Structure 1
Amino acid sequence: MRIPCPICGARDRREFYYQGAAVALARPAPDAGEAAWDDYLHLRENSAGDLDELWSHDAGCGAWLRVTRNVSSHEVKAAVLARDAS
């Protein structure tokens, strides 16, 4: 898989480090209970299709990117600097 870094150009994904989904999860209150924390830590939606992810270009320019990727085919649809993402 190649990721198009807006600064360096298209690079192999081994230059990048996956940081997780770009959409933050709602964190439970500290006293929410064991079930709420278990859900927060272990249960995720895992739907097929496009997903916005955060990647850091660790072996390159060091930029943080917001990458739109199809999780079924691994096709990268877009990559922008995270600071420029809306």
Structure 2
Amino acid sequence: MRLHCPLCGERDHREFTYKSVALDRPTDEGWSDAWNDYIHLRENPAGPQEELWWHGAGCGAWLVVTRDNRDHAVLGSRLASERGGES
């Protein structure tokens, strides 16, 4: 599988480390139902999803990669900072 880094270009996936599905963090201070859902209740749909990847063997950027988890097809990528605060 190859991933496109917006800063370095197309690279082998072994240069990257997968973190998780890219989720919006709750903004609540303290414990809430939103935090409980964020930590414990995750969807696992088949199909395209946004994921966080770190380009550790390259520029060190965090990326949001859109990937189809059924066949590992990479549909796009962008810097995580362009997503709106997720890192």
| Shared fold, TM over 0.5 | yes
Alpha carbons of structure 1 residues 16 and 31: separation in structure 2 relative to 1, 3 Å? closer
Mapped pair 1:76 → 2:74? yes
Shift of 1:71: 0.5
Shift of 1:70: 0.3
Residue-by-residue CA offset, 1:7-28 (whole Å, 9 max, x unaligned):
111101110000101114669x
Name the count of aligned residue pairs. 81
Mapped pair 1:45 → 2:43? yes
RMSD: 2.4
Greater gyration radius: 1
Overall identity of the aligned pairs, in %: 50
Unaligned runs of 5+ in 2: none
Normalising by the residue count of structure 2, what TM-score does the alignment of the two structures yield? 0.76
Shift of 1:31: 8.8
Mapped pair 1:22 → 2:19? no
Alpha carbons of structure 1 residues 43 and 10: separation in structure 2 relative to 1, 3 Å? same
Alpha carbons of structure 1 residues 51 and 31: separation in structure 2 relative to 1, 3 Å? closer
Moved more, 17-26 or 49-58: 17-26
In the alignment, residue 19 of structure 1 is paired with which amino acid? K
Normalising by the residue count of structure 1, what TM-score does the alignment of the two structures yield? 0.77
Unaligned runs of 5+ in 1: none
**Distance across 2 between alignment mates of 1:85 and 1:41:** 20
**Distance across 2 between alignment mates of 1:69 and 1:82:** 15
SS across alignment from 1:61: coil
